[in-house]
Amino acid sequence: MAIHIDLEKCTGCANCVPSCPFGIIEVIDEKARINEGCTLCGACQAVCAYEAIIIEAIPEPVASTDNHRGIWVFAEQRDGKLKSVDYELLSKGKELADILKTELCAICFGHNISEIEQLIAYGADKVYLIDDPALANHQEDLYTGELVRLIQQHKPEAVIAGATSLGRSFIPRVAAILKTGLTADCTDLAIDNETQRLLQTRPTFGGNIMATIICQARRPQMSTVRPRVFKKKLADPKPNGQIIKVDFDREHITSRTKLLNFVDDLTETVKLEDADVIVSGGRGLGKAENFQLLQELATAIGAALGSSRAPVDDGWIPYSHQVGQTGKTVCPKLYIACGISGAVQHLAGMQTSDCIVAINTDPDAPIFEVATYGIVGDLFKVVPMLIEKLKVD
């Protein structure tokens, strides 16, 4: 344990007790005690007037940042089509690279990728492209091996990927091989002015707490970033960058896992992540059949159907509709939440929507904290009224 209480200095004043964001400090026999779960955030040390809380600085090897330059974005594709998260990450990556006065590179693996030059239009100075039929699908063993190889060769200072199923599955493997730090599911990235380090902010404890994390000495610094938290900037009308084709190193890598088949699960016409308007239902719907009412509203305004976690857990609607921490992150122009109380886990998946409408009977429901328009009322009265009025006009 690298934190301890100097029992001679501790007066048992208990000022540190409320300072702990995790509530794990107690005073026993007039001495503070730090229980399990400490993240060494230093909040208690800052309030201790007696310098009784000691956090041992662990000597770190000096960062080998000198020879690591450039921000890399892993650009994901499916069936030769780039994903929108690629452009979001490049837009943010460009900001970071400009602050660091370094280059922004996109890394892309796949086969016959259409519009690859778009990666340059959204900010990449270089695109390292490995185009090979073997990489067409998400073959994670191959992706892992090739990304490690490129990183070892070119030594970027930071590598950013989407916190998608693919990113969250293979990026940790890359980090483990490189023995470097990886921060999952970030919702903000910034550069520390003084140290030039990447400040990686992410929700934790189910979204109840935000934590800013750094990778002190090892390089590259790695993050996965949630789709739809960074805004895609406008494409550069006069893009300037180069596409560097890299040969697939098939000799070097053996694939022990093999993707045999991919099946698209969504039956609806509008994909939730791509929808401009989403009508979403929660526990307030009461039963599976009542999603029919929301479907009617969705049809009337051309929306996709979403759900909070409770209806999915109860089997009212398939998991592919779930919005939130363990479901999808969405950012539509309009999100209409019906009978959703707004647990932090749900808010984490939709709060960046442009306009949020909340309909709920409980005036204290947390969903109203993020709502642009709030209606305290019974969804079974309000929603039919909305449908009726939309039909009339």
Partner 1 sequence: MNIIVCLKQVPGTTKVSIDPQTNTLVRQGIKNIVNPFDTYALEEGVRIKEKHGGKVTAISMGPPQAEEMLREAISTGADEAILLSDRSFAGADTLATSYTLARAINKIKEDNLVICGRQTIDGDTGQVGPELAEMLGIPFIAYVSRIEEINNGRIRVQRLVEDGHEIIESTLPAVITVVKEINTPRLPSLRGMSKAKSAVITTWTAQEIGADKEMVGLSGSATRVIKIFFPQRVRHGEMLQGSPESQAASLIDKLRQAKLI
Site for partner 1 in 37-66 (CB under 8 A): 37-41, 43, 58
Q: Is 315 in the site for partner 1 (CB under 8 A)?
A: no
Binder of partner 1 out of 122, 273, 285, 304 (CB under 8 A):
273
- Give yes or no for residue 118 binding partner 1 (CB under 8 A): no
State the number of binding residues for partner 1 (CB under 8 A).
105
DSSP letter at 377 equals: S
Stretch that binds partner 1, among 8-16, 63-71, 106-114, 326-334 (CB under 8 A): 326-334
Q: Nearest distance from residue 241's CB to partner 1, in Å?
A: 29
Of residues 131 through 150, those in contact with partner 1 by CB under 8 A are 138, 140-141, 144
Q: Which stretch binds partner 1 (CB under 8 A): 123-131, 212-220, 241-249, 286-294?
A: 212-220
Q: Which of 183, 280, 352, 360 contacts partner 1 by CB under 8 A?
A: 183
Counting Cβ atoms within 10 Å, is residue 62 exposed (0-12), middle (13-18) or buried (19+)? exposed
Q: Which stretch binds partner 1 (CB under 8 A): 95-103, 228-236, 282-290, 384-392?
A: 384-392
Cα–Cα distance measured from residue 211 to residue 84, given in angstroms and rounded to the nearest whole number: 26
Quick one: CA dihedral 348, 96, 184, 332, positive or negative?
Answer: positive
Task: Kindly state whether residue 349 participates in binding partner 1, applying the rule CB under 8 A.
Answer: no
| Consecutive H or E run containing 54 | strand 53-55
The answer to whether 350 touches 330, Cβ cutoff 8 Å, is yes
Min dist CB 1 to partner 1, Å, is 5
- Count the alpha carbons within 13 Å of 38 in the hemisphere toward its beta carbon: 22
CB of 231 to partner 1, least distance (A): 18
Find out whether 10 and 26 touch, Cβ atoms under 8 Å: no
Nearer residue to partner 1 within complex by CB, 123 or 273: 273
Q: How far is the CB of 353 from partner 1 (least distance, A)?
A: 11
Q: Does 14 bind partner 1 (CB under 8 A)?
A: no
Rounded distance between C-alpha atoms, residue 141 and residue 138, angstroms: 9
Residue 207 or 306: the one with the smaller Cβ distance to partner 1 is: 207
Residues 74-113 within binding reach of partner 1 (CB under 8 A): 78
When the beta carbons of 125 and 320 are compared against partner 1, the nearer one is 320
The b/e string for 107-143 (b: 16+ C-beta within 10 A; e otherwise) is bbbbbebeebebbbbbbbbbbbbbbbeebbbbbbbbb
Q: How far is the CB of 143 from partner 1 (least distance, A)?
A: 12
The count of C-alpha atoms lying within 13 angstroms of the C-alpha of 99, restricted to the half-sphere facing its C-beta, is 16
> Which one of residues 7, 14, 46, 210 is an interface residue with partner 1 (CB under 8 A)?
210
Q: Which stretch binds partner 1 (CB under 8 A): 46-54, 152-160, 172-180, 240-248?
A: 172-180
Residue 252 is a binding residue for partner 1 (CB under 8 A): no
Contact flag: residue 288 with partner 1 (CB under 8 A):
no
Closest CA to 334 of 308, 371, 367: 371
Q: How far is the CB of 40 from partner 1 (least distance, A)?
A: 6
Hey, which residues does 133 pair with through a beta bridge? none
DSSP code at position 323: B
Please report, to the nearest 10 degrees, the dihedral formed by the alpha carbons of residues 231, 236, 242, 245 taken in order: 50
What span, in angstroms and rounded, lies between the C-alpha atoms of 72 and 156? 7
Residue listed under structure tokens 């690298």: 2
Least Cβ distance, residue 99 to partner 1 (angstroms):
18
184 binds partner 1 (CB under 8 A): yes
Q: Please choose, out of 127-135, 234-242, 254-262, 284-292, the segment that lies near partner 1 by the rule CB under 8 A.
A: 254-262
